[in-house]
Amino acid sequence: MSAQDLNEDTLAKGTCEYITVYIDDQLFGLPVLSVQDVFMPQSITHVPLANADIAGVLNLRGRIVTAINMRRRLGLPELGDEHKAMAVGIEYNGEFYGLIIDSVGDVLGLDDKTLEAIPSNLDPRWAAVADGVHRMDGHLMVILNIERALALGPTGSSSVAA
Say if 64 falls within a structural domain: yes
Beta carbons within 10 angstroms of residue 135's beta carbon: 12
d(CA 22, CA 76): 13
Say if 156 falls within a structural domain: no
Say if 52 falls within a structural domain: yes
* pTM summary value: 0.81
Say if 159 falls within a structural domain: no
Give 53-102 pLDDT, tens digit per residue: 999 999 998 899 999 999 999 888 888 765 788 999 999 988 999 999 99
Q: Tell me what the mean pLDDT of segment 140-148 comes to.
A: 93
**What sign for the dihedral angle of Cα 94, 40, 133, 3?**
positive
CATH number, domain with residue 79? 2.40.50.180
Total number of domains constituting the chain = 1
Show the domain range for 39: 3-151
Say if 158 falls within a structural domain: no
